[in-house]
Amino acid sequence: MQVRKYSSRFALVFFSLITFLILFSVKLIFLQIFWSEYLSNLAEKQHNAIVKLEPRRGSILDRNLRPLAFNVTVSSLYANPRLMSEEDKHAATKQLSLLLKMDPAVLRQRLSRNKYFVWIQRKLPEELAGKIKGLKLKGIGFIKESKRFYPNQSLAAHIIGFADIDNRGLEGLELNYDKYLKGEFGWSQILRDARQRELSLERNFMPPKDGFNLVLTIDETIQYLAERALDKAMAKHNAKSASIIVMDPRTGEILALANRPTYNLAEVSSSSIESRTNRAISYMYEPGSVFKIVATAAALEEAAFSETDKINCENGAYRVGNHILHDHHPEGILTFSQVIEQSSNIGVTKIAQRLGPYKFYKYAQSFQFGRKTEIDLDGEVQGVLKHPSDWSKTSIGAIPIGQEVVVTPLQLVSAIAAIANDGIYMRPFVVKYVKDNSEQIIRTFEPKAINQVISPQTAQRTKKILTGVVDNGTGRKAQINGVAVAGKTGTAQKVVGGVYSHNKFYASFIGFAPADNPRLAAVVVFDEPHPSYYGGTVAAPVFQEVISDALKYLEMKE
């Protein structure tokens, strides 16, 4: 009886073990055959982390290698919710929401995710990052990233543009040359233990490739001089907006370009579209009398007039078609040179009438009006230059004096620079070359001549006439002591509601210096200055200040 009892127990235990063995065997076979790939991938994910390594975005430097934009190392805050208890999450939400000024609900939502990694806030100021590190919150960590930094804030903002939080270019050169600046991401495969702690062991590693650096034609000092003068004049003349461009007429290199209103590159989110608009290349307007340089150069090149030829300016009233053309100051008989010096609308119209619409149009086209200059900045517009077949009976008295034609400030400075450069029109550009961190040149951008607009002889004659504009005519306030200056003033009525306004104007000045050996050319344009609105009163003094200071600066460098 006792033997039978033990025998039954033994059989029960034996069959139980056999059953468990079979079940475990089936389970093991199932895991090995059917779940092996899934479990292998899960283990790989748990113990291996792929870390994306951010490249350092290339710097933007002025022509003298002074930094205008570069990246700095900053700390970005993240959380590992799977390592955090509810108490940890509550403590983190309470303390971080105050320091980061975040909505606690948003923070709670991020910490509630069933993930090993969630961003809390990226690219924090180091002082703030230090305070958070001092809290020693469980599950909260930092990753080093790089952030774009603009040391001069708004200086040259419309040229440089800006990049986003992920270092992607969005505007200006940051966008145009993003393929050179951005670099290439690298990666690292990090081993972790079962508790998701990094073991500081790398299985594979691909280093990031840093971006290349841009070296510009811009001179930081001349840019500063231009912006300082523009700001003072904006305040003095209560203008709506303004633009200035300074160019080397021999090469087409832009040494300074600025607009008002402007914006702070460090606070792009608070800027308006209007403040970010690069008016110097994308804003069109009727230029007024500065456009008279076309008729001047064309008439001399075509031998239609000489400097001493007499022109009857009709005492300030002259009929063109069914329109009576007027001068601001009635004049009688003037020489060709005096017509330009005194900016007589009637005199210039008679010059254009002798040339004829087609010859005038030919030279306006040669000066690249109605066409893009092809500058290496996005947003350029081509303006409007009507073909003579589209001219009305009064167009011959309007277009040569800067009406019925729309231009950009960039087109104007490029045109006056062509006269300064013995008639050779140079393509304007703002990037000199691209280099890497080892100072190896990756790509260069050489000066490029577009065409010979007028002969060197005609250019020299035109220079002398434009020097007379500053010495004896409407541009006297552009005079620089000891330096010969050539230029042209412009005062243009704005078109408001389809008609010319009598109280809203554009004031402008274009010129170059020294007139006998030009080193700098510039355009200055103001929109709706008041109460003063003449180009010779508002824009010419800005030209004088900027070019005078810039020439002194260039002499000191030599």
Known catalytic residues are: 289
DSSP-assigned beta bridge partners for residue 495: 500
Q: How buried is residue 26: exposed, middle or buried, by Cβ count under 10 Å (0-12/13-18/19+)?
A: exposed
Q: How far is CA 444 from CA 42, 435, 449, 545, in A?
A: 50, 9, 16, 32
In order of 364, 494, 501, 531, the CA distances from 497 in angstroms are 27, 10, 9, 22
95: number of Cβ within 10 Å:
16
CA distance 377 to 73: 29
DSSP 495-535: EETTEEEEEEEEEEEEEEESTTS--EEEEEEEES--S---H
User: CB-based contacts of 4: which residues, under 8 Å, 6+ apart?
Assistant: none
* Cα 181 to Cα 32, 42, 91, 264, 437, distances in angstroms: 49, 38, 41, 21, 12
Pairing relationship of beta strands 60-61 and 213-216 according to DSSP bridges = parallel
Supply 370's token pair.
Answer: 């109605």
Distance from the first to the final alpha carbon of the chain: 121
In angstroms, what CA-CA distances link 450 with 281, 368, 428, 453, 496? 18, 9, 10, 9, 35
Token digits of residue 318: 């002259």
Matching residue, tokens 């290496």: 376
Residues counted in the chain: 558
List, in sequence order, every beta strand (DSSP E) within 279-391: 310-312, 317-320, 323-326, 333-335
